Structure 1
């Protein structure tokens, strides 16, 4: 019975560097050369959470941080942009966000317009004159905004309503209290003016 190769191994000659002194010598020399030149390479410098000290790893290719501190995070727009799944050959052509899908939709729309009759073209032109360009969601949002603005303008232009009997009674009481307060302040001012001055020590 033929044995299957272990996980991570191939059916050829696995791990030649383990069985060959020459391969081990090449690996050791490469590691020593890398360690000798490591101080010449830039370092990540990000604060490590485990130790609180600057990270000493080598940054990712073309970045200033290592892959553990954001160096492998996609940037910019497009298929390899931020929060966008990256694919080796770009986005699948069946996805709505792909350029091929958008181009296919444009071709289909042009073909539909070319196949329209004169009456259908006239209705399309009339529809274009009465509808703003953009998606249906954008037009609905603009319509709701216009309705809300019109509602606010109507409220602001409304005449003030007549006061109720309770409000009229409260206004009368406020006026009486203000008049009484003004009278008391006038009496206090007169009493202060009529009061004889107090003599000093040497009067």
Structure 2
């Protein structure tokens, strides 16, 4: 009887105690994310010219060990209007977060400060395809990351999209003339006339004496 009462007391104590876990996915309190935390990749936004830093050069796509990225580039209309100095701009970019291993190789190989590891780390979705994020979502992730840490490009002078203004009165650049091949110059050179002493006729020597 005593053992039964002791077991019942343990059961009641466990049944009425406060839960030790938070209600997911809306917990009342979450731990803050460290500034140097590396989440999933995100594309950075150039606010000076209102376009992405990414030019679609495909370097990150080729370097990705899991091949979780796809990208396509297009001609930049801002470059035609002289509003940006980027000739090409990203048109399609997609990352499968389910295949990403957070290795940050894409960040290391990027020459344009266009991609960074954001603070986004959540993979719980209602549908599996929701882990495939497109260009607009990647840019939203990048803008949020930029505002959180006060991000700035590591090479602002090189990778800024602000067009360089031409100086007034600048001399026009000379067009380089390509050298003609030696074979053509030799063919076009005038042939040297032969002297009478070098010509021979039938029955005569080179000096004009009869045989």
Q: TM-score range by the shorter chain?
A: under 0.3
More helix by share: 1
TM-score by length of 2: 0.22
**Higher RCO (CA-CA < 8 Å; seq separation 6+):** 2
- Name the structure where strand makes up a greater proportion of residues: 2
- The structure with more radius of gyration: 1
